[in-house]
Structure 1
Amino acid sequence: MRKQAWIQDPKTASTARFHWDPKSWSQVPWYFVDSGRPLTGAPPLLKTRRHMRRNDARKLWLALKERGWRPVKPQWGADVDP
């Protein structure tokens, strides 16, 4: 998994951001998974943050894809183009 990836449910616009924890040890990397919804003209509604090992984050990503979620470009934060 890359250092950052985004996935979204096309039906509800629920979004998950998977991003690497830079404080984790490189041999056993951990990821944060932030869940929320982007809002037009307002800050995103962030609902949860989970901290998990890379393999568990990968399993979650694949499970979301199986349920119809799709990879998307960044939805909030510094990576969003104005």
Structure 2
Amino acid sequence: MDGWLMASNGRNVLRFHRDRTARYEALIFIDFGEPIPGQPALLKRRERLPRKHAVEQWKKLLKGGWCRVEPQW
């Protein structure tokens, strides 16, 4: 799983990507960032979730108005 979502207001970006250091379980990082015009987004925090929960979160966000975007940083 690797993808990017942006809030409908354009103020928040999420990056979902695999934790390649996880050995026994498929884990996904969710990076929370804020776009800055002319610069890479500001990384605010990171969560680490089991893949199943990350997929659920992705689907919930899409239903809530978030949209897929190109990589932001």
Unmatched segments (≥5 aa) in structure 2: none
* TM-score in terms of structure 2 length: 0.88
For residues 21-32 of structure 1, what are the structure 2 equivalents within 5 Å?
Answer: 21-25=19-23, 28-32=25-29
For residues 50-61 of structure 1, what are the structure 2 equivalents within 5 Å?
Answer: 50-61=47-58
Unmatched segments (≥5 aa) in structure 1: 77-82
Matched residue pairs, number? 73
Identity of aligned residues (%): 34
Higher strand share: 2
Stretches (4+) displaced over 3 A: none
Name the residue aligned to 1:49.
Answer: 46
User: RMSD of the alignment, in Å?
Assistant: 1.4
Name the residue aligned to 1:40.
Answer: 37
Give the secondary-structure state (helix, strand or coil) at the position aligned to 1:7: strand
